[in-house]
Amino acid sequence: MNKVASLIFCFLSFTINAQVKKYTLLECVNIALEKNIRIQQSEFDLEGADIDRGDAIGNFLPRINAQSQHIWNNGLSQNITNGLIENLTTQFSSFGGNLGVTLFSGKQNINQLARANLNIISRQYQLEDMKDDISLFVANSYLQVMFNKEFEQVQRYQLEIAKQELERTELRISAGVQTQAEIYEIEANLASQEQALVQSENATRLSLISLAQSLLITDYENFDIADVNFNVPLSQILLEKPKKIFEKSLTLRNDIKVAATNIEIAKTDIDLAKGALLPTLSAFYNYNTRISYSDRFIETGNFIETPIGVVKENGSLVVTQFPERAITDPLSFADQFRQNDGHSYGLALNIPIFNGLSIKNNIKRRKLNLKRSETQFEQTKLDLENTINQAYNNAEGAFKFYEASEKTLKARKEAYFIAEKQFEAGVLNSYDFIQIKQRYDIAASDNVRAKYDYIFKLKVLEFYFGVEIAI
C-alpha cells in the first residue's frame, strides 16, 4: 500500500512539474521579439515604406484610363417620322480612353524612388534597433529573476543555519552549558531570517511576473526560467579601450545607421525640391467614340422631282431632283463604334516660371532639414560615446566591487566559523555571535547583488561591442 501511495505521489509531482514551462534567455528574447507590440508597429512601418516604394515605381509607368457614359435626353425635339416638334427621349452612349506618360520631370521620379529605397533601409535599421533594445531589456529582466532566485537560496541557507544554531543552543541549555537567556537572541535571529526569506520569495515571484508580462505571458503560475549555474564570466572586453569600443560600435549600432540614413534622405529631399524648378514633359493619347440609338434617314436610290420655278419666255417648269429618303433603324453598335471614333495625341510641356516662392521656400526648408539631420547624427555619436564611456566605467567599477565583495564574504565567513566555535565553547555570548552572523549574512547578500550587477553591466558593454546577448 505504501508503494502504491509513493507511486501516486511521484506521478502527481511529475504532472505538476511538467506543467511549469522553464524558459531559457534565448526563448524569452525570441518570444519578446515575436509578441512585442512596438516591434509589430515598427514592422507595419516597414511594410508601409515598401508600399511607398511601389508608388515611386508606379511614377515611371504610363497612366491609362477609360471612360464611358450613357445619356438620356428628354425634351422638345423634331420627330423625324412626321417632322413635328414633340417631347422626345433620345439616348446616346459615349466611350473614351486616354494614355499619358511622363517623359521628364526634373528627375523627380528617380529621386522619389531613391528616397523610398532609403526610407526602407531606415525603417529596417529602426526595427533592428528596437529589437536590440527589447533584447537588452529582456536580458536585464531575466538576470533580475536569476539574482532574486540566487538571493533566495542564500536566505534559505542562512535560515537553515539559524535553525541549526537554535537546535544546538537548546541542547547546550539542556546540558547546562548555556543559560536560558542565550536562546532569545538566537530565536530573534531565526525570526528575522524567516522574514528575509519571505521577502526574497516575494521578490522572486514579482520579478517572474514582470518578466512574463514583458513577454505577454499571462499564465504566471506556470512560468519560470531555466535553472542555470551561472558563474561570473571572464570577459576580455574590459581589456579594450573605450575609444576602440566606440569606434567599433559606430559600425554596428543601428541608431547610428538610422541617423546616417536620415542624412541621405534629407539630401534626396533637396534634389526632389529642386526638380520642381525644371520643366515637365509628358506625352498623351486620347481615343473617343459615340453611339446613337435614334432612328435615321437613308437614301432609297430614287429621286423626287420638285418644281422650283417657271421659264418666263415659254412658261415651262423648272424642276430639281432630291434623293428620296426613308426612315430606318440606327446603325449597329459595332458600325457606329468604328465610324464615330476619334483620336488625339501629342506632347505637353509645363515650364514653371513663378509659383509664389513656394518652390524656393520648399528648397530652403529641405536644406534646413538636412542641417538638422547632420546635427542629430553628431549628437547621436556623442550620446553613444558618452554611453559607452559610462558603461565601461560602470562595468569596471562593478567588477572591482564584486572582487571586493568576494574578499569581504570570505573574511566574514571565516569570522563566522571562528565565532561559532567560540559560541559553542561558551566564550562568546549570543549577542556578539548574532552580530557576527548578521554581518556574514549581509556580506553574502552583497556578494550576490554585486555579482549580478557586474554581469548586467558587462552585458551592456558587450552589447555595444557587438557581442550577442547570451547567458
Are 73 and 195 in the same domain? no
Q: Residues 448, 152: contact at Cβ < 8 Å?
A: no
Query: Is residue 146 located within the same domain as residue 115?
Result: yes
Residue 100 lies in a domain: yes
Look up the domain containing 305 and give its range. 297-329
Q: Would you say 385 and 246 are in contact if contact means Cβ atoms under 8 Å apart?
A: yes
For the segment 132-166, what is each residue's pLDDT rounded down to a tens digit? Answer: 999 999 999 998 998 999 889 888 988 898 888 88
Are 311 and 399 in the same domain? no
Domain membership of residue 370 (yes or no) is no
- Same domain, yes or no: 216 and 264: yes
Whether 412 is covered by a domain: the verdict is yes
Residue 6 lies in a domain: no
Q: 358 in a domain, yes or no?
A: no
Q: How do beta strands 85-104 and 342-350 pair?
A: unpaired
Cell of 377: 547624427
322 and 230 inside one domain: no
- In the numeric block, which cell numbers belong to residue 327? 426612315
pLDDT of residue 19: 63
Overall pTM > 0.75? yes
pLDDT of residue 89: 80
Cα 265 to chain centroid, rounded: 20
Domain harbouring 85, CATH code: 2.20.200.10
What pLDDT shows up at residue 406?
92
Residues 265, 394, single domain; the answer is yes
Number of domains the chain contains: 3
Co-location of 85 and 188 in the same domain = no
Residues in the chain predicted with pLDDT less than 70, given as ranges, are 1-19, 78-84, 177-178, 230, 233-234, 470-471
pLDDT given for residue 14 in this prediction: 43
257 and 406 assigned to the same domain: yes
- At 181 the pLDDT is 75
- Classify the C-alpha dihedral 120-123-129-132 as positive or negative: negative
Q: Which of 201, 226, 232, 272 is nearest to 456 (CA)?
A: 232
What 273-277 contacts at long range (C-beta under 8 Å, 24+ apart), as own/partner pairs, is 273/359, 273/362, 273/363, 273/365, 273/366, 274/106, 274/363, 275/105, 275/106, 275/107, 275/108, 275/111, 276/106, 276/108, 276/352, 276/359, 276/362, 277/106, 277/352, 277/359
**Are the C-beta atoms of 33 and 125 separated by less than 8 Å?**
no
Identify any residues that bridge with 95 across adjacent strands, giving them in sequence order. 68, 289
Domain membership of residue 51 (yes or no) is: yes
Q: Same structural domain for residues 93 and 40?
A: no
Residue pointed to by grid coordinates 543555519: 161
433: which 3 cell numbers? 555571535
d(CA 468, CA 132): 10
Is residue 71 in some structural domain? yes
| CA 48/CA 126 separation, integer angstroms | 14
Regarding whether 123 and 164 lie in a shared domain, the answer is: yes
Domain-located, residue 461: yes
- Residue 198's Cβ-count burial label (10 Å; 0-12, 13-18, 19+) is exposed
Write out the three cell numbers for 179: 543559560
Tell me the per-residue pLDDT of 280-339, one tens digit each, with 9 for 90 and over.
999 999 999 998 887 777 777 787 778 777 777 777 777 787 787 777 778 888 888 888
Say whether both 77 and 220 belong to one domain: no
Same-domain pairing of 316 and 193? no
